[in-house]
Amino acid sequence: MHYDVIVVGGSFAGLSAAMQPARARRKVLVIDAGEPRNRFAGHSHGFLGQDGRTPSAILDEARRQLLAYPTARINPGRAERAAITGNGFEVRTEDGETFEAARLVLATGVRDILPNVPGLAGLWGRKVLHCPYCHGYEVAGGPLGVLATGPMSMHQAELISDWGAVTLFANGQFEPDVDQRRTLENRNILFEQSKVIKLQENVAGGLIVRLDDGRSAGVRAVFTAPHNMMASPLAEQLGCAFNEGPLGRAIVVDDKQQTSVPGVFAAGDAARLMHNIAFAVSGGAMAGVAAHQSLVFG
């Protein structure tokens, strides 16, 4: 079946994008493997009207609302190949199904590359966090840690000190210069040079940060800024341009979410360097509207 728009990725950006052409009575297919980036988080915060709900509950409702439109469909597959054709685009899933559309929206997201610290992966999304606007309020008021992953961790520590007393754990990834040390002192941020060898949850629900010299520190939560990579190869297969950011790549888009490849739009974490549910929904809506308008106006 030939669709007007195929959206690859069915999380916040993708469902928001699909809603727009579906409401314009266009045939829309969402291809989604069901692995949203924030599936490790217990609750979502900072998203207007949905604050405190679980990400899965928000997405379940969004899928229900999208599928109320008779021209919308969701395929629970993993898109593994995309190509430009004479009629637009072709997308193939890992089970061999092939779909065609006149326009393509990539809402494929990114994959986090977590620091290699024992215990960290099992705490990701609960006690090891990345975004203070998403999770800071819930852990505010007590001691907090920032686990460095590079020079950007200095900025992260400064920011998070608004939520509590911060210790910046260098972990061999960052060495502040004289001016940065002065900034840390002015913000009352402790700097810990020793390597972090383990994170573990304590009985009170906080974290114990164990150091290689035998010492340990207790914190309510640890923030870190993991590097990330594209969760899907489709943008590269299609020849889309990328921006290189301090933590990873992002697909280049204009103010209408159009990529460097005509007819291909992108939204969500894969298409911006700052990541947030509200940003993803906004970018998805613009991508969906722009994709539809390009069908009308060429």
Per CATH, 2-112+227-297 and 115-224 having the same topology is answered: yes
Q: Mean pLDDT over residues 206-227, rounded?
A: 95
Q: What pLDDT is attached to residue 201?
A: 93
* Residue extents of the structural domains in the chain: 2-112+227-297, 115-224
Tell which CATH architecture fits domain 115-224.
Answer: 3-Layer(bba) Sandwich (3.50)
Residue 265's H or E segment, with its range, is strand 264-266
Q: Mean pLDDT over residues 49-53, rounded?
A: 85
CA distance 245 to 231: 16
Contact 12, 108 (CB under 8 A): no
CA distance 275 to 223: 15
Position 286 confidence tier, pLDDT thresholds 50, 70, 90: very high
Those residues whose C-beta lies under 8 Å from the C-beta of residue 237, and which sit 6 or more positions away, are: 81, 82, 83
Q: Mean pLDDT over residues 141-164, rounded?
A: 94
Q: Is the pLDDT of residue 63 over 80?
A: yes
Q: Which residues pair with 207 in a beta bridge?
A: 201, 219
The average confidence (pLDDT) of the chain is 94
Task: Please report, for residues 28, 187, 219, the alpha-carbon distance to residue 101 in angstroms, rounded to integers and kept in the order given.
Answer: 9, 53, 50
Q: Is the pLDDT of residue 212 over 80?
A: yes
Classified by CATH at the fold level, domain 2-112+227-297 comes out as FAD/NAD(P)-binding domain (3.50.50)
